[in-house]
Amino acid sequence: MRTWMSWIVVVPFAAWAVVRLSGFEPDWPWVPVVAYTPYAVGGALAGLLLACALRKWAAGTVALVSVLAMTPVVLPRALTDGNPEAKGPALRVLAANLLVGRADTEELMALVARMRPDVLTLQEYTPDAERRLKEAGLADTLPHAVTHPLNGVGGSAVYARYPLKGEKMIKVGPFGQARAWLTHPEGARVEIVSVHPCAPKRIGRQPCWQGGLEALPRGGDALRVLAGDFNATLDHLPMRDLLAAGYRDAADVMGRGFQATWPQQGSLNRTPRVTIDHVLADSRMAVREFQVLSLKKTDHHPVFAELRLP
């Protein structure tokens, strides 16, 4: 019985480590499950402790290998990274999912006043949300906008303090991702994308989710910032591919990669919390600040980053 108990606890996390590190990403249900890899490291550690307590050394060895394999994957998220030599102007970015336009307009305006963003990206941006933000005076602070309001979850918008030139919206399935070129007063041009691919929460949604992430522009040529609800963590393969293509995750750079952004406390209390909202900055940009904020009447935490352009 003790032997079976130890293996029952150890084997699932050993299999998790193998798949996570393999470079292969199975379909549903793995795609939503892999978001909980930081929890799996804790589970593998618990298996190691149980195997040692039961003196089942074979199982303990497998558990130890699992812990040692996954720790280098997740631990760097709690450690700060260095920054490139970036001496250009600052760019302050705020991103918020409005939960089908329901988010509290007054509190969002207070966030804009407090955080003083140069760029605001909004997801699940509806015609009613656009109307309320217009009435609340958002254009007084951020007068330039490229908006694609839609009923339901597919709407998206980019607001900015500086001039914007709209690009064709990225649309895969019902989810839209607004994009625009920002011209900074000091001359830099930066493409901004309000990110929101499909959520891979049920079988059949993976092609839409993966397509939405793969349609995002790669880094390395023009300066770009991708900000919003990625419906993906740093453990998802398309997200890792995106980072390898010329971006850095602002939370990871600042050692705050474990700060969960979904769900907000009170919205889905029984769901384990994960980090799916991000600000990805061109790898030539420096990250000076990152914060996870709160906003009433939505299930996502807004995220904020202060970047410095090269």
Model confidence at 267: pLDDT above 80: no
d(CA 41, CA 13): 8
Q: Are the C-beta atoms of residues 239 and 291 closer than 8 Å to each other?
A: no
What's residue 27's pLDDT? 85
Distances (CA, A) of 283 to 50, 165, 186: 42, 23, 20
- Residues 39-66 have pLDDT tens digits of 999 999 999 999 999 999 999 999 999 9
**Distance, CA of 238 to CA of 259 (rounded, Å):** 20
Which secondary-structure segment (H or E) carries 124? none
* Measured distance CA(203)–CA(215) in Å, rounded: 21
User: 24 to each of 84, 96, 107, 218, how far by Cα in Å?
Assistant: 31, 31, 42, 21
Rounded to an integer, the average pLDDT of 73-102 is 97
Query: Whole-angstrom Cα distance, residue 275 to residue 300?
Result: 10
In 156-165, which positions are buried (b, 16+ CB within 10 angstroms) versus exposed (e)? bbbbbbbebe
How far CA 271 is from CA of 116, 138, 207, 264, 266, in Å, comes to: 32, 33, 24, 10, 10
pLDDT of residue 175 exceeding 70: yes
pLDDT at 235: 98
Please state the rounded mean pLDDT for residues 132-161. 98
Peptide bond into 117 cis (omega under 30): no
Q: What is the pLDDT of residues 178-189, one digit of tens each?
A: 999 999 999 999
What mean pLDDT comes out for the span 271-293? 97
* Whole-number Å distance between alpha carbons of 274 and 260: 5
Q: What digits encode the pLDDT tens for the residues 8-19?
A: 999 999 999 999
Averaged pLDDT of the chain: 96
Q: What is the pLDDT, as a whole number, of residue 206?
A: 86
- As a whole-number percent, the residues of the chain with pLDDT over 90 amount to 91
Token pair in block for residue 218: 């790669």
* Whole-number Å distance between alpha carbons of 237 and 127: 34
For residue 266, what pLDDT is reported? 64
Looking at residue 220, what is its pLDDT? Answer: 86
